[in-house]
Structure 1
Amino acid sequence: MTIMSSREFNQDTSGAKRAASEGPVFITDRGKPSHVLLSMDEYLKLAKKGPTVAEAFYSPGADEIDLEIPKLDGDFGFKPADFS
């Protein structure tokens, strides 16, 4: 991880690019982080989205997932619904 000021970044962009190949480069503005420079490979890793829950359940083989829902025993203070 490298930290450089905006001024340092402007004066040495090629150095910032080299540093980004090793890890993220945090660029500060008045002492506070304002930007991050990443290599394209690192950016693509972060930007890659995994499957949603729905996609995971509708993927091939998802119908073979064993799901056991345990029966709850005991009085939890709830009354059965009266639908009459």
Structure 2
Amino acid sequence: MKHMTSREFNHDIGKAKRAAEEGPVIVTDRGRPAYVLLKYEDYRKSGTNGLTMFDLLYDPEAGDFDFDPPRLQDSGPRSVEFD
């Protein structure tokens, strides 16, 4: 995956677009990943089309339902071993 700073991106958008032809380009801001540039086709193939997890799971036809998960057996604290 290609990386470029926001300064590089602002100075040469054409370069960023050419890089996005090969795959996603991470644009950093002050050294941290801030944005991802990718071709629209690749974005569409991602499957979510910008939807959140809530959007993907929400079904207005489903209505309400009760959810009573089984309780875990409380065996108290467990010891932890570090190698």
Q: TM-score, normalised by structure 1?
A: 0.55
Higher helix share: 1
Give the superposition deviation at 1:7: 0.1
Give the superposition deviation at 1:30: 0.2
Q: Structure 2 unaligned runs (5+)?
A: 52-56, 58-83
In 2, Cα distance between the equivalents of 1:6 and 1:19? 14
In 1, Cα distance between the equivalents of 2:17 and 2:2? 11
Amino acid in structure 2 at the alignment position of 1:10: N
In 1, Cα distance between the equivalents of 2:26 and 2:35? 6
Give the superposition deviation at 1:36: 0.1
Amino acid in structure 2 at the alignment position of 1:21: E
Amino acid in structure 2 at the alignment position of 1:37: L
Q: TM-score, normalised by structure 2?
A: 0.56
Aligned to 1:36: 36
Number of equivalent positions:
52
Give the superposition deviation at 1:8: 0.2
Aligned to 1:70: none
Runs of 4+ in 1 over 2 A off after TM superposition: none
Give the superposition deviation at 1:13: 0.2
Query: Equivalent residue of 1:23, what SS?
Result: coil
Aligned to 2:26: 26
